[in-house]
Amino acid sequence: MEKKPKILKKSKELTDEFKTFAFSGATLGAAVGIMMGAALNGVISSLVKDILTPPIAYLTSGLDFSNLYFVIGGEKFSSLAEAQASGEAIIYYGNFINTFISFLITALVLFLLVKKITELVQKQSNKTDKKS
């Protein structure tokens, strides 16, 4: 009969430990950061696809990066759709260019965001220090 209270005690300890972990500031902060990152990813993807790519394509005589590809076998096709339908092995380097541009923009936005937040925190810290 002694085993039942031990099991209950262990499960209570485990539950308390889990609550401490799950609801700690670091865990909640990480969860919020991940969700904000996912939302920011959608915004950045739209910025690249809908805002930046069209002017770049216009400046490069209508070149659309997403349609750039290389057929490994060397065979020539008139369109990406035709190349895909052929079943040949294809390297979609245009998609890579779009993804890389998206990465650079995301990195720049995050850099500027962190820089601004750091400046605001430092200003707030300086105001608090002056009041002391």
- Of 75-79, 84-88, 95-99, 101-105, the least confident: 101-105
Q: Is 92 buried (19+), middle (13-18) or exposed (0-12) by CB count in 10 A?
A: middle
| pLDDT score at 19 | 83
**Do residues 55 and 88 touch, judged by C-beta distance below 8 A?**
no
Question: Is residue 28 in some structural domain?
Answer: no
Q: What is the mean pLDDT of the chain?
A: 83
Total Cβ atoms within 10 A of residue 27? 12
- For the stretch 36-77, pLDDT in tens is 888 888 887 787 778 877 887 788 776 668 888 889 988 899
Question: Is residue 132 in some structural domain?
Answer: yes
| pLDDT score at 119 | 93
Higher pLDDT, 106 or 38: 38
Question: Is residue 130 in some structural domain?
Answer: yes
Question: Is residue 127 in some structural domain?
Answer: yes
Q: How many domains in the chain? A: 1
Question: Is residue 73 in some structural domain?
Answer: yes
Q: For residue 58, what are the domain limits?
A: 45-132
Please give the model's pTM, rounded to 2 decimal places: 0.53
| pLDDT score at 29 | 86
Question: Is residue 18 in some structural domain?
Answer: no
